[in-house]
Structures are given as structure tokens and as C-alpha cells.
Amino acid sequence: MTFKSKRDQFFPIILLFVAVLYTSIALFIWFLEDDREAIYGLGGVFLLLCLLLFAIQKTTFYHIGQDNTLICRTILFKKRIAIDKIKSIQDSNGLFVGWKMNTAWKCIVITYNKYDELLISPDDELLFIKTLTEINPNIYVKSNF
């Protein structure tokens, strides 16, 4: 079963912030030094950032395989987790340090092995958690979903 990644206003807000910042810097350089090269350079970097964020949103998905593994994939990165190794699932509560394969601000943290964690954002969190707990009933769900 494959779950699409959730999309919210997280990436558009990032792009808006970077666009305002780059535009301010480019205009500052243009007025101060009368040099349009800064506009082209910063515009190119912004375009590459837009393409990267678009690719992340389009290629991120979470697949539960027949061999009871969870496969999380984004662009060229793939993470495979044995579902019987998953210890807990909780909703994300603030900033997170660790592997991130999410495309939304509201996401879930999967704890597996002894100390490993992965931040993901499946579109249908309830069905995703239900599917995982049907395979491994020992998963501790730490929040109300």
C-alpha cells in the first residue's frame, strides 16, 4: 500500500521568505553598485530552489511492502524500515533533529530500532498508523490522531 505525502503551506512559505530575502539583496546590490549580475545570479539560485522543492513534493511517498517493510522515498533517497522494528509513533511537536522525509509542517515521528527516528508526513495519517499497527500491534502510538 502506498501513501502520498501530505502537502500544506510549509514549502510555499519557505519560497516566499527566500523570494523576499533574495529580492531585497538583489535590489540592494543593484542600487548600491548598479550591477544587474546579482539579480541574475540570485534569480538562478531561487529557480533551482523552486525546482528542488517541487521535486521533493512530487517524489515523496511512503510504501508498505509485502515483506512488512516501510519504504520512505524522496528524490534519490530511500529509507527502508522493518515494521517489526518500529517502537512508537508520535506527532511532531516542534523542531526535530534527525532524518526528515516530510513535505508538511504537521507530521509524525517514527521511532525504530533503539534510537533511530524518522520524520514523515503521510497524507492519511490515521490509515497509515492503522495499517502499521495491524502489522505490528506492539507499536506504541503516543498521541491522539
The CATH number of the domain holding residue 92 is 2.30.29
User: Distance between terminal CA atoms of the chain?
Assistant: 20
Max CA pair span of the chain: 65
> What was the pLDDT predicted at 27?
84
Task: Indicate the residue type of 14.
Answer: I
Contacts with 140 (C-beta within 8 Å, 6 or more apart), sequence order: 87, 88, 89
> What was the pLDDT predicted at 95?
67
Domain that holds residue 112: 1-145
Calpha distance 102→132 (Å, rounded): 18
C-beta contacts of 44-48 below 8 A and 24+ residues apart: 46/18, 46/19, 46/22
What pTM was computed for the model? 0.80
Overall number of domains in the chain: 1
SS3 3: strand
Each of the 145 residues of the chain gets a pLDDT tens digit; together they read: 999 999 888 888 888 998 899 888 888 888 888 877 778 888 888 889 889 988 988 999 999 998 999 999 998 899 999 999 999 999 886 666 677 888 888 889 999 988 889 999 999 999 999 999 999 999 999 876 6
Task: Indicate the residue type of 58.
Answer: K
